[in-house]
Amino acid sequence: MVEGVNYNPNIPYYEYDPERAKDILECQGYQLKEDGYYWKDGEVLELELITASRFGFERVAEIIARHLEDIGIKVNLRSLEWKTLDSRVISRQFDLAVSGHGGIGGDPTILNKVILGKFGYSANYTKNDTLNQLLEAHLHEMNEEKRKAIVREIQKVYAEELPALTLYYPTWYWGHDGSVDIYYTLGGIASGIPIPLNKLAFMEYKGEVEAPAPAATEAPVPGFELLISILALTAVAYLVIRRRKD
């Protein structure tokens, strides 16, 4: 998660370390050949990296592919249509995929979507029972501090399992002519998208605010007061007669 009220600063980070990556491959039995790639059992270590041509994902995928090639992993980079990418990710038909999502400023419920969800930008990871239980627990916890603790534990377990790796959070810049009072909505738009494009910021009311009209009172029913008076007199007469009898 991006830094904020629910962010856990004590989760492990994975630094860029090419030599460590090579050590891991060689511990798994791979050998670096003269062609510059790692081989094992007569097969070259080759991965397909899929992405889509939007939001700069292609450029990110190119950088990742170059870094992997530099340490000896052959990469087949493919740029797909967005829906095709989603379909491949949902059906788990990929080696590596570069995708993304919004919602970093919203309620932690977004974690359930991007970890357990059945759509393109989700890790679709359900193998860890502890993680599954934590994700279920925070949805029902009403105490704010207890929920924060659960969400931070979710981040810790997720970082250890690492079904998907967060690469970066982009910084967006918006230009306007000053005629609109742009503001951010607390928690973001919709599921937490951190943009200032709230439609309310573009609404302007030109007119005088009229004071509300006084509430209308119901007119008395004709003869109603006379009926009440007769009933009251009858009750008094009844009490007087009863006392005399007693």
pLDDT tens digits along 151-206: 999 999 999 999 988 888 777 777 777 776 766 666 666 666 666 666 666 666 67
Strand-strand pairing, 43-44 and 38-40: antiparallel
- Does residue 84 have a pLDDT over 90? yes
- Does residue 105 have a pLDDT over 70? no
142 falls in which pLDDT band (50, 70, 90)?
Answer: very high
pLDDT digits (tens, 9 = 90+) for 42-62: 999 999 999 998 888 999 999
Number of residues written out for the chain: 246
pLDDT reported for residue 129: 96
Mean pLDDT of 103-127: 81
Long-range contacts of 194-199 (CB under 8 A, 24+ apart): 194/102, 194/104, 194/105
Residue of higher predicted confidence among 105 and 233: 105
Q: Which of 130, 137, 191, 136 is nearest to 156 (CA)?
A: 130
pLDDT reported for residue 11: 87
In the chain the domains, ranked by start, together with CATH numbers, are: 14-99 (3.10.105.10), 102-168+181-201 (no CATH)
Least-confidence region, from 113-117, 142-146, 197-201: 197-201
216-234 burial by CB neighbour count: b if 16+ within 10 A, else e?
eeeeeeeeeeeeeeeeeee
Least-confidence region, from 27-31, 68-72, 237-241: 237-241
pLDDT reported for residue 178: 76
Mean pLDDT of 126-143: 94
Strand partners, 96: 49
pLDDT digits (tens, 9 = 90+) for 219-245: 555 554 555 555 555 555 555 555 555
3-state secondary structure the chain: CCCCCCCCCCCCCCCCCHHHHHHHHHHCCCEECCCCCEEECCEECEEEEEEECCCCHHHHHHHHHHHHHHHCCEEEEEEECHHHHHHHHHCCCCCEECCCCCCCCCCCHHHHHHHHCCCCCCCCCCCCHHHHHHHHHHHHCCCHHHHHHHHHHHHHHHHHHCCCCCCCCCCCCCCCCCCCCCCCCCCCECCCECCCCCHHHHCCCCCCCCCCCCCCCCCCCCCHHHHHHHHHHHHHHHHHHHHHHC
pLDDT reported for residue 149: 96
pLDDT reported for residue 14: 85
pLDDT reported for residue 228: 53
Residue the block writes with tokens 């090639």: 69
pTM of this prediction?
0.69
Q: What is the mean pLDDT of the chain?
A: 81
pLDDT reported for residue 86: 87
